[in-house]
Amino acid sequence: MFDAKLRPIIDPPLNYCGRIMANTGISANQITIAGAVFGVASGFAIANENYVLGLGLILLSRIFDGLDGAIARATKNTDFGGYLDILCDFVFYLAVPIGFAFANSANILPALLLIASFTLTGISFLAFATLAAKNGIETEAHGTKSFFYNTGIAEGAETILVFVVMCLVPDRFALIAYVYAVVCIVTVIQRTMIAKREFGG
């Protein structure tokens, strides 16, 4: 929901840093993988109930997730880079709730439901992107991407914000997870309605 609105704010500093990093020979794919590693590390920190470290690693992971695109724009966008980016994004999205599940057995059910909702949003996102490519539909609302980014209520910025709040008030993880899982399902329904309108039903 907020991703496209944030792009004009975050892209200029990211692009500046991306150009500097590209000049050093660092590749976008290396930064993408590093971001995923930090994401997994955040899950381990959270599993050990080190929520402050987990929060820091979450933010670091997402900074790297922004930098990889900036480096790609400064050098060359590749289809494999787009594939690797979305794959590593979902590694991150899964690592955090899994970490909370290991931190407290009471978190297992809400974590599972949250992961299930992420699975459905991911499927709806990628299925829409596939059909958009088939039908020649393009957008740059989220910047230059390897494939179509369909807007929804639950996007990257909202998910990061939710993870931050979870780390700040970990004893409220279950409630936050249940609420956000519902938001994700609403996003799936929203995308499905848009897909029906765009692609015929």
DSSP 80-94: HHHHHHHHHHHHHHH
Mean pLDDT rounded to a whole number for the chain: 88
Domain layout of the chain by residue ranges: 3-199
Model confidence, pTM:
0.85
* Helix (H/G/I), strand (E/B), else coil: 130: helix
Interval 97-129: pLDDT, tens: 999 999 999 999 999 999 999 999 999 988 888
State whether the Cα torsion 132-137-140-145 is positive or negative. Answer: positive
Who has greater pLDDT, 158 or 49? 49
Please report which residue ranges of the chain form alpha helices under DSSP H.
Answer: 3-23, 28-47, 51-74, 79-103, 108-134, 156-168, 173-199
- CATH ID of 3-199, from 3.30.300.30, 2.40.70.10, 1.20.120.1760, 3.40.50.460: 1.20.120.1760
Judge whether 129 and 148 are in contact, CB under 8 Å: yes
CA 84 and chain centroid, separation: 12
